[in-house]
Amino acid sequence: MKDTYILGIESSCDETSVSIVKNGCKEIATVVLSQMDVHANYGGVVPEIASRMHVENITIVIEECLNKANMKMEEIDAIAVTYGPGLIGCLLVGVSAATTLSYIYNKPLIPVHHIAGHIYANNLVNKMKFPLIALVVSGGHTDLIYMKEDYSFKKIGGTLDDAVGECYDKVARVIDLPYPGGPLVDKLSYEGSDTYNLPLPLDDDSFNFSFSGIKSSIINLVHNEEQRGNEIRKKDIACSFQNRVVEILTKKTIKALKEYKVNNLIIAGGVSANSGIRNKFIELCNKEGINLTIPNIKYCTDNAAMIAAAGYFAYKKGITADITLKAEAITSLF
């Protein structure tokens, strides 16, 4: 069978990325240009700056990726692009680049939902086996998803308020860590002890999550300690917080696997880079005989390889768009 080369474009937040992936599973070349250092000066992503930087970088990143792959646009079979969700000005840059390339080179255009992309980062590690449960943990999403087959997504639970990555970043800010704080809280947690009596968030029978309560209780305890002039044990806060997050994520995910009688688990999204989450899931899945896949660290956060991989399976399902494709800041996968 002829190989299919998909060129993927991702620009939904602060990474300008282009990648070429063969048959939805073999990465040929990827370029990721991160703007993180610029936004760190402001304590978070500044949408206007982010979209302007995407405009400056997108053509350079496309050319660099083709050069790295030693390929020409003529050899590409189709173009996949994140059309949403994300920052609208940022998405527009990727969608404009993709629609233009599709028009000029007469290539099919494949719209990819950002979360489908995160999920398919796993297909670059191991061929995904179905049925599976996907735990998506990112800066904007926390979802438990049932997949009967390729490119079929059924939500079985999700956060009722903050996404887990958002919560990591807010807790980091309260204990004076710079943006993006998630990886720093993760690191700091190993230097502390679980001594703060934080609540286990939404510990019920549902497959839903809630992280705003645990965030508020950390904000309150920091304020109270400050008012009393007490020392704030940041390392212990990081450790106690991470333990609670890992406990609730593992508890609900393992319950979902059992209830849906599924033996395959994948984890996706930026927070799947978290070492506490990775280690605990590896330990539990070994014990329970569950087949677990987690993306390599560099494909946990935003990149275009995951978009090109997802694009291949969307294309096989006949999901294509024309050059009127619109970027959508808010759009559901379900």
| Closer residue to ligand KG4, CB minimum distance, 299 or 313 | 299
Q: Which residues contact 210 (CB under 8 A, 6 or more apart)?
A: 159, 160, 161, 162, 201, 202
* Residue 162 binds ligand KG4, judged by CB under 6 A: no
Q: Select the span of 105-113, 119-127, 181-189, 228-236 touching ligand KG4 (CB under 6 A).
A: 181-189
| Closer residue to Zn ion, CB minimum distance, 7 or 304 | 304
* Residue 201 binds ligand KG4, judged by CB under 6 A: no
Which secondary structure element, helix H or strand E, spans residue 144, and what is its range?
Answer: strand 142-147
* Residue 295 binds ligand KG4, judged by CB under 6 A: no
By the 8 A CB rule, do 178 and 40 touch?
yes
Residue 42 CB coordination number (10 Å): 10
| Closer residue to ligand KG4, CB minimum distance, 107 or 278 | 278
CA angle 269, 276, 213 (to 5 degrees): 75
Residue 312 CB coordination number (10 Å): 26
What's the token pair of residue 107? 């290539």
* Residue 14 binds Zn ion, judged by CB under 5 A: no
* Residue 138 binds ligand KG4, judged by CB under 6 A: yes
* Residue 301 binds ligand KG4, judged by CB under 6 A: yes
Amino acid, single-letter form, for residue 288: E
| Closer residue to ligand KG4, CB minimum distance, 27 or 101 | 27
- Secondary structure class of 306 (helix, strand, coil): helix
* Residue 307 binds ligand KG4, judged by CB under 6 A: no
* Contacted by 169, from ligand KG4, Zn ion, none: CB < 5 to 8 Å by type: ligand KG4
Place of tokens 């950390």: 218
* Residue 165 binds ligand KG4, judged by CB under 6 A: yes
* Residue 302 binds Zn ion, judged by CB under 5 A: yes
* Residue 19 binds ligand KG4, judged by CB under 6 A: no
Work out whether strand 109-113 and strand 142-147 pair parallel, antiparallel, or are unpaired.
unpaired
| 7: nearest Cα among 58, 56, 75, 104 | 75
- The least distance separating ligand KG4 from the CB of residue 106, rounded to whole angstroms, comes to 31
Cα separations (Å) of 120 from 95, 131, 267?
20, 14, 10
Among 169, 210, 237, 246, binds ligand KG4 (CB under 6 A): 169
Among 180, 192, 201, 311, binds ligand KG4 (CB under 6 A): 180
Place of tokens 């999550």: 209
Interface residues with Zn ion (CB under 5 A)?
A: 138, 302
Interacting residues with ligand KG4 (CB under 6 A): 114, 138-141, 165, 168-169, 180, 182-183, 186, 269-271, 273-274, 301-302
